[in-house]
Structure 1
Amino acid sequence: MRTIRTAAVIGSGVMGAGIAAHLANAGVRVRLLDRVPERLTAQEEAAGRSLEHPDVRNRLAADALARLSRTNPAPFYDERYASRIEPGNVEDEWERLAEADWIIEAITERLELKQALLARLEAVWTPGAVVSSNTSGISIEAMAQSVGEPMRRHFLGTHFFNPPRYMPLVELIPGAATEAGIVAEMKEWLEIRLGKGVVVAKDTPNFIANRIGTFGLLATLSLMAEKGYSVEEIDAVTGPALGRPKSATFRTLDLVGLDTFVHVADNVAGRAVDPEERRAFAVPAILTDLVSRGWLGEKSGQGYYKKVKSDQGSRILALDPAAMDYRPAQTIRSASLDAAKAANGAAAKCRALLSGGDRYSQLAWDVLKRTLAYAADKAFEIADSIADVDKAMRLGFNWELGPFELWDAIGLRQSAARMDAEGVALPEWVTNWLAEGNETFYSRREGALLYAHNGDRAVWREPPEHLSLRALKSAGRTVLSNGGASLVDIGEEVACLEFHSPNNAIGADILGLIRSSVEEVRRNYRGLVIANEGRNFCVGANLMLLLMEAQEEEWDEVDRIIRLFQTAMLELKRLEKPVVAAPHRMTLGGGVEACMAADRVVAHAETYYGLVEAGVGLIPAGGGTKEMALRAALSAGADGELQTAVNRAFETIGMAKVSGSAPDAQWLGLLRGTDRSVMSRDRQLYEARRAVLELERDGLDAPGDSLIRVVGREGKAVLQLAALTMREGGYISEHDCKIAGKLAHVLSGGDVPAGAAVSERYLLDLEREAFLSLCGEPKTRARMQHMLAKGKPLRN
């Protein structure tokens, strides 16, 4: 794989700075450059600075770096990664661009400016270094005309989507002279090191995602004008009911910025050869009017929606296009929308919506038929395969299904016939595809996925680094299974324990399969991975079950459930074979405790990880509090100062802190220094399996009951005093203080002398006793009920 240790980003605007931050997340040293300011600010004048002062000359890039630390959502995995970025300017730092392994142009979207920059860059460019443009739609080939053949071979487009940390799509756009090897190397690097989903796009206006997405939005605006739909009606149909984000059409436009959207549409209209396509991308009069009024969306405070505040609170107003004024936003209901809401999965939702037979079913069909026909017409003009088109729309626009996947879901043959009957022309390759007897665009045969590639059928196989639990289970590799979990053989004599209960919440079925899996792995496997392909890894224990038992005061049953949880976690921890957990996204409460039982964690970088039980009036009792006490003792060493480490653990648990990323979880002490994170979600299971084999090779310590040095009754007093101080200051409630007292008792080891060594089972007993005691508190049960009903904590 290509080595990229240093990079330079030219242009410190929103995209340039965001790309620099995400490169820093990957461990790359970045030079962020911008132009030299032409005038002083008032603050600089007051400080007696001149235009030649280094702070003034670097101000634009330095200010951009400072803004990154205030940006929400956070662009850095860990705010300390900002130190990997060095701000500068394109005059003083220009010669140092020769040191960069990769140079990214992210300046204003004007062809002549980009050409001039590249021509100047050629003089300092080191042959072999990659040069790319982050343009969202300007021709790569037109830019490349300003440089010679050697640099052209190393030049391509790398179109990141905003924000670069969170949006997974990168479109790679080679020019006519770009070396195929450069494209392949950058695709690999972006996927593995930066965790991106990469598609190779052709050098056409707006590339893949923005070409299809912009057409779909404009087609929807056209339908609105033709049929008289309201803003709210359009958004009710074009959001989750069609497998698209909640922002639907008009909230998306407001978020993007109406002026930005107009610029993107104009780019296609200005470069399209087909007169029909130019008409399709013509900006409607209402958008032009809104932009001229300065109603640009969220950044200007109003667009298609407007939020107003009054004594009665905030209200959302929606635009009335006929009056060009705002009125209270309406809630849209219909039988077809209700049916779509009740259906499970994007495919079923779309089918339910389309079959409703009402006004909104017709709107959904009219939107889809135009978008699907356009995607088919342009597919091989903008990409090599329909799979790349679908991937670009899923990752770039957050569609649950790309256009061709959606077409399969609603019935390819039937919908194509309906389009034909309604006068919608389909490209020849689609009619030929149907004439050959194909009923879908995608099909599987002998483990391969077959689909259209430049109009012909192609075969795709997942790379060996991409292990799919779904595919493995389809191939009959399930070893054990029940309603909540499965044990799957993932090759190399390694098994994977997969949670698949609702929300992956841990209940008796999962705990039972954990214990069965331990025995199966002990007999027949080299080790175990804990991973799944759910939206979130695990949101914790089955809170509903615990609440029901607590409300019935079935304390023996609550005790039995917690003992079962503790026993399962302890058996995982004491398995003499390697256990590796692979959490992703939301990993909370019991999900964290399952990971704490593993010998190593290989987390996805976007893992939001925390022991959050205090939010529902409890403390971690599946081994989480015990593990935090153990980690505090290990970090302090045999004779080190332990209280500080315990204080930190007390704060992390007591405040129910959740990490903003996997590296942040290490900073909080929830992950160990030996744990690691990967940026590629697709490779995570492969990397976890590899970690199992590495641990087996290196050897594991014999499992057993660890003795844990604790701070004892004196240390508990320190923790309790801290909680009382916060209570007196009004920072926490009386019930928060009670929870903190229980937590302090467990973390400190109870009423033993300072420095005493206690067993894991002793701390587990303390955990369980504290948990049971808190379950008996009415305010804890109120917190549990509120969380189940509202999905957020109650502070009582």
Structure 2
Amino acid sequence: MSRFQVKKVAVLGAGVMGAQIAAHLVNVKVPVVLFDLPAKEGPKNGIALKAIENLKKLKPSPLGVADDAGLIQPANYEEHMGLLNECDLVIEAIAERMDWKTDLYHKIAPHVAPHAILASNTSGLSITQLSEALPESIRPRFCGIHFFNPPRYMYLVELIATPSTQPQILDDLETFAVSVLGKGVVRAKDTPNFIANRVGIFGMLSTMIEAEKYGLTYDVVDDLTGKKLGRASSGTFRTADVVGIDTMAHVIKTMQTNLTEESDSFYRHFGTPGVVAKLIEKGNLGQKTKAGFFKKVGRDILRYDFESDEYVPSGEKSDEVYGRMLKKPAAERLKLLRNAEGNQGKFVWAVLRDQMHYAAVHLQDIAHNARDVDFAMRWGYGSKQGPFELWQEAGWLDVAKMIQEDIDKGETLSSQPLPEWVFKGPVADAGGVHTAQGSFNPTTGQFEPRSGLPVYQHQHFPENVLGSEAPDPATAGKTIHEDGAVRLWTLDDEVLIATIKTKMHTISPDVGEGLAQAVELAEKDYQGLVIWSNDEWFSAGADLQTVLPAFMAGGAITVNGMEQELQELMLRLRYAQVPTISAVRGLALGGGCEMAVYSSARVVAMESYIGLVEVGVGLIPGAGGLTYIARRAAENAEKSTGKDLLPFLTEGFTSAAMAKVGTSALESRKLGYVLDSDVIVANKDELLYVAIQQAKAMFQMGYRPPHKRLFKVAGRDGISTIKGSLVNMRDGGFISQHDYDIAGMIAHIVCGGDVDPGTLVNEEYLMQLEREAFTTLLGHPKTQDRIMYMMNTNKPLRN
């Protein structure tokens, strides 16, 4: 069977989106050529080169490692058209002008390889109309691929076919986007702004209209439409600032241009809001110009006041009563909001009602089923639930009646009634659009299951919609042992899975006991052990709410014993007779990082944050983290021709002393927390599958744990050298005295204590030094202040 392989990609257009798409391709090891116009002055590749250099400065970073910007090959349309023939996928990402795009297609068509897919990253132009500029031979290989900004972080990619697009082309591109790019794919119909922007931009317009109607300020609106509503924390107006007010205006313009009163009964509300036009006129386009709906001046955040045309103090919050309402169960929540007497409650109901009304009216036009709308809003706009999920959870027919009553009273933005399928037929009978059989397609009148593409067989527990009755990872498979701390279970009777159940998967004594039991069971009955959890925490490390009270009650002896048990667990993971795999998704901090580095191997999701952060609470890594740094430095030095151990310690010491966290799996590899032999997975939903396969492969290749070896340490000379640098930092005011003391302890441990340079030690020796330092610091008032501050505020205290 032939398989579509993407060996090289061309991205056409080195603007904001094109350059960042190229950056993400580099992140996932896909060679990429970034094209733009030839520069009028200087090197012909000047435009592409400038865009590539700028990638290193952007925040959040589009690159897993900033230096990888150099892996992007710059090109221009005058000199390098021949490079297109080497590419299996060509992504056009130039400005949203139909004439510019079609002109470019005429130029590139003769150079596109006969097998290559050509895709446009347009955010809303007609894919079918674009295809008409291409020769007949390319049209079957042409489609839309709509990334969301920023492409590295936004999960959603919309794929859009034309009537001429071969089905296999879309299947191949979806497989590539899911498994290689790590995206959630939704197939949209070729309608203006597709799914996410069609519903999402309508939602933003609705929010602005309803906010003006009820007299609410931008900061209050953002407070109500952010996390309290289960949406992105940036709310509505800050989101517009991040996206770019000009970008938002362009998408609105696409709706104005390509829709009519006949095609969209909400059309009269698609005018560019006056405040948006005013901000664009002033050049205040949001975050990229440092001013939009909000503006930061020093430490103060100001908001724009349309009437005075000035920026005024912000920070106003919504009434607490509505915060409490929004925590109620869905059915009660919507009824309370609809019947609220205050304007803030009326506003929230109106915003939710408007979006559900719009999604229902246009479901058949824009999407193949209701699931695609909900996924598009979750993945593209950061909503916890899509509009249909909320509607269904709150009681389908009850909510439908409330919406229709508002329509009949003239309170909605359109007088168009809800579609008949809302009240009659399979949806009404099932109590919603999502069922175990699939999600409702109004064109066929059937519930359609999720895609059966082979790539999805690698996702044991993919994201799903409410009502789908998908398997729950908390109960799936066969449970071997479960208590309040851990669940030990298996999907195939071959690999044991350990899931930590504590909040943020902190490692309490009970968790440590459960994981030790997991190693024992895996050695006895299984091919390996995988430590995995289905959320954004791998582990936040040691449970400080257990450690500090234990110290207060039992003193250093009690905590010393707890730390020793934790260290012994790490050694059990490292020297287990079967492979132990840490499947890291999200955050692995402190003890979570230590658990990962002591496992036989790691399978890490691309967007994972890994680091030893104990300094932030005035402690040192006490479960073997510093021992790991010392051992790895010695092992790396052994492979080198140099005899000085200190250069190999520097990175690890600095990372621990500064609580440095790798903000991607790639950066964590540079820090030494992820090894070259470890697997990095782009799609978080493939993590468990890959980890299980890795455990089996290692076992079947005759896995044996590493030998316990003695290794060299830098000794007192290394400590003196590091402390010399620390003195300068302290005296220069860069670190506090307490920071200096902690960093000195870290140096003492990673260099092996007061011994001669080159002394051979074992892991247990260094772990003892860790315990001594850990318990000493735990008794220090400044460390106790840091711990209490962190526990109360979730922020570090510098003292």
- Deviation per CA, 1:124-154, whole angstroms, max 9, x where unpaired? 1221111111111111111111112110111
Percent identity over the alignment is 36
Q: Does 1:713 align with 2:716?
A: yes
Structure 1 position 158, deviation (Å): 1.0
Partner of 1:748: 751
Q: Distance in 2 between matches of 1:224 and 1:702?
A: 62
Superposition pairs for residues 599-610 of structure 1, below 5 Å? 599-610=600-611
Structure 1 position 435, deviation (Å): 6.8
Compute the TM-score of the two structures, normalised by the length of structure 2: 0.92
Q: Distance in 2 between matches of 1:280 and 1:780?
A: 57
Partner of 2:52: 65
The one-letter code sitting in structure 2 at the alignment partner of 1:585 is G
Q: Distance in 2 between matches of 1:756 and 1:665?
A: 29
Superposition pairs for residues 265-414 of structure 1, below 5 Å? 265-275=252-262, 276-309=265-298, 314-340=299-325, 358-414=342-398
The one-letter code sitting in structure 2 at the alignment partner of 1:280 is H
Q: Does 1:467 align with 2:460?
A: yes
Distance 1:737 1:236, change over 3 A: closer
- Alignment counterpart, residue 433 of structure 2, candidates 427, 432, 441: 441
The one-letter code sitting in structure 1 at the alignment partner of 2:269 is A
CA contact (8 A) 1:172 1:199 kept: yes
Q: Distance in 2 between matches of 1:373 and 1:687?
A: 41
Q: Does 1:480 align with 2:481?
A: yes
CA contact (8 A) 2:126 2:191 kept: yes
Partner of 2:597: 596
Partner of 2:448: 458
Deviating more after overlay: 274-283 vs 314-323: 314-323
Deviating more after overlay: 585-594 vs 666-675: 666-675
Structure 1 position 733, deviation (Å): 2.5
Superposition pairs for residues 352-751 of structure 1, below 5 Å? 358-423=342-407, 425-433=417-425, 436-444=428-436, 449=438, 451-452=440-441, 454=443, 455-460=445-450, 463-468=456-461, 471-475=472-476, 477-491=478-492, 493-551=494-552, 554-637=555-638, 641=643, 642-702=645-705, 705-751=708-754
Structure 1 position 15, deviation (Å): 0.6
CA contact (8 A) 1:559 1:772 kept: yes
Partner of 1:44: none
Distance 1:277 1:710, change over 3 A: same
Distance 1:348 1:489, change over 3 A: farther
Structure 1 position 363, deviation (Å): 1.7
The one-letter code sitting in structure 2 at the alignment partner of 1:629 is A
The one-letter code sitting in structure 2 at the alignment partner of 1:395 is W
Q: Distance in 2 between matches of 1:341 and 1:418?
A: 18
Distance 1:324 1:349, change over 3 A: farther
- Deviation per CA, 1:198-224, whole angstroms, max 9, x where unpaired? 111111100110000011111122222
Superposition pairs for residues 15-94 of structure 1, below 5 Å? 15-38=17-40, 40=41, 55-94=42-81
- Alignment counterpart, residue 87 of structure 2, candidates 100, 104, 107: 100
Unaligned runs of 5+ in 1: 41-54
The one-letter code sitting in structure 2 at the alignment partner of 1:474 is T
Secondary structure, counterpart of 2:662 in structure 1: coil
Q: Distance in 1 between matches of 2:577 and 2:339?
A: 55
Distance 1:3 1:355, change over 3 A: farther
Structure 1 position 672, deviation (Å): 1.9
Structure 1 position 729, deviation (Å): 4.0
Structure 1 position 741, deviation (Å): 2.2
Q: Distance in 2 between matches of 1:554 and 1:654?
A: 25
CA contact (8 A) 1:241 1:350 kept: no
CA contact (8 A) 2:205 2:269 kept: yes
Superposition pairs for residues 209-224 of structure 1, below 5 Å? 209-224=196-211
Structure 1 position 254, deviation (Å): 2.3
CA contact (8 A) 1:12 1:61 kept: yes
CA contact (8 A) 2:727 2:740 kept: yes
The one-letter code sitting in structure 1 at the alignment partner of 2:267 is R
CA contact (8 A) 1:337 1:360 kept: yes
- Deviation per CA, 1:548-605, whole angstroms, max 9, x where unpaired? 3345572222122212211222222232111111112221101001112210001011
Secondary structure, counterpart of 1:70 in structure 2: coil
CA contact (8 A) 2:143 2:162 kept: yes
Partner of 1:193: 180
Distance 1:664 1:476, change over 3 A: closer
Q: Does 1:782 align with 2:785?
A: yes
Distance 1:303 1:713, change over 3 A: closer
Distance 1:69 1:290, change over 3 A: closer
CA contact (8 A) 1:216 1:371 kept: yes
Q: Distance in 1 between matches of 2:781 and 2:190?
A: 64
Partner of 2:138: 151
Deviating more after overlay: 117-126 vs 469-478: 469-478
- Alignment counterpart, residue 206 of structure 1, candidates 164, 169, 193: 193
Distance 1:355 1:770, change over 3 A: farther
Deviating more after overlay: 605-614 vs 479-488: 479-488
Partner of 2:113: 126
Q: Distance in 2 between matches of 1:101 and 1:325?
A: 51
CA contact (8 A) 1:201 1:207 kept: yes
The one-letter code sitting in structure 1 at the alignment partner of 2:422 is V
RMSD across aligned positions (CA)? 2.4
Structure 1 position 376, deviation (Å): 1.4
- Deviation per CA, 1:615-674, whole angstroms, max 9, x where unpaired? 222211111111121211221227853332123322221122111211111111122222
Partner of 1:9: 11
Distance 1:483 1:342, change over 3 A: farther
- Deviation per CA, 1:450-502, whole angstroms, max 9, x where unpaired? 55474311233783211129624434633222223211212251121112311
CA contact (8 A) 1:336 1:352 kept: no
Distance 1:154 1:460, change over 3 A: closer
Structure 1 position 365, deviation (Å): 1.5
Structure 1 position 103, deviation (Å): 1.4
Q: Distance in 1 between matches of 2:427 and 2:154?
A: 38
Structure 1 position 703, deviation (Å): 6.0
Q: Distance in 1 between matches of 2:450 and 2:341?
A: 38
Q: Distance in 2 between matches of 1:333 and 1:325?
A: 22
**What is the total number of aligned residue pairs between the two structures?**
773
CA contact (8 A) 1:576 1:703 kept: no
CA contact (8 A) 1:269 1:277 kept: no
The one-letter code sitting in structure 2 at the alignment partner of 1:776 is G
